[in-house]
Amino acid sequence: MRTLKWNYDKNLLEMIDQRLLPGEFKIIEFDTYQKVAQAITDMVVRGAPAIGGAAGFGLAAAAFQSAASTPEELHRDLKVAAKVLGQARPTAVNLAWALDRVLNEVFPPLLIGEGPGVRSDAEVRSNAEVMSLCQAILTEAQRIADEDVEINKRMARHGAELIEDGDTIIHHCNTGALATVDWGTALGVIRTAHEQGKNIHVLVDETRPRLQGARLTAWELEQYGIPYDIISDNAAGYFLRTGQVQKVVFGADRVAANGDVANKIGTYMLALAARDNSVPAYSVVPTSTIDLTLPTGEEIPIEEREEAEVLALTLKGLQVSPANASARNPAFDVTPHRLVTGIVTENGVVYPPFDKNLPKAVKSET
């Protein structure tokens, strides 16, 4: 099933609780935007495209929560909700992208009485009109979710052309169906190559500190019947240097205009090792993850999470770190574009110079 979906009978959002996998598969219900925002922060849902989908449905929940009697009041309530949702995780650009898309689609300036010379006639609008807008918000959120699945499959077909029969691939973090509404980005490429009959093997980075690779990617690969081995993050360089890897693939939470890639912490070191050993490294992202407003990765905000995620590691039931230890926990790093072989999008594979070719991919209609 999908990572997240709107339950039209109950009028609420349902999401897989990814914190419990692989030990337990559980669906949680969310009927307020505050709960959706907290779910994003707590990583009940994670992965840039999935976060974007959750944000869209979070606005739908906010619309049905609202006691507004006019479109103007509803718009004000939704702007408050969008601010709360937008602060849940700052690095993933899909979050802000989805919120802006829903609000701009449903509330163009003429509708909410904004702009020079435009008359606001809220006093003659009815509750029926507000309900119609609520439904429009839900429709747009659903459209974002459905488009994500189709975009992922298009990306996967482009990316699978880069995978050769017999390849061993290092994959970082989780970029499969769980990181999207369905199918996946980088892991979607691997899944498609496998379904095409290519004999491939995946080395799965654990991806500390939250172990999205060992917990989520390994679980997904088992569902698809794709052979894999889990490796510690620090082992990637060994396998690359000894010639046991032919491709490196990962996703991204934001790509700057010059091709710098913000992705799960550890991606930078992996890309460095890949470049030093002449192994191509590809980032797989929908064009909604490409932020052309940021010239370089230096401008990408990097989320730093609580130190408990690092310090809570145990070994044989005992805490690894000293009781009074402190920790730093950046959730992402930025991989410079010089280390990225290509960026796979739904509109094809983009190669350097990224500053010239990424805008073409974003604007492409094909």
Active site (catalytic) residues: 253
As a whole number of angstroms, the distance between CA 194 and CA 321 comes to: 40
DSSP 252: -
Concatenated DSSP letters of 53-74: HHHHHHHHHHHHH---SSHHHH
Where would I find the H helices in the chain?
A: 33-41, 48-65, 71-86, 93-106, 109-112, 127-160, 186-195, 212, 218-224, 236-241, 267-276, 308-311, 354-363
Number of neighbouring beta carbons within 10 Å of residue 48: 28
Separation between Cα atoms, residue 176 and residue 95, nearest integer Å: 18
Sheet holding 4-7, edge to edge: 4-7, 12-16, 27-30
What whole-number distance in Å separates Cα of residue 346 and Cα of residue 331? 26
In sequence order, the 6+-apart residues with CB closer than 8 A to the CB of 113 are 72, 119, 120, 121, 122
Question: Greatest CA span in the chain, whole angstroms?
Answer: 73
CA angle 141, 13, 143 (to 5 degrees): 20
C-alpha–C-alpha distance, residues 156 and 206, integer Å: 23
Distance of alpha carbon 37 from alpha carbon 269, whole angstroms: 31
Please say whether the beta carbons of 265 and 328 come within 8 A: no
* Rounded distance between C-alpha atoms, residue 33 and residue 42, angstroms: 14
Q: What does DSSP say about strands 168-171 and 247-250: parallel, antiparallel, or unpaired? A: parallel
Strand order in the sheet with 290-291: 290-291, 254-256, 261-264, 332-335
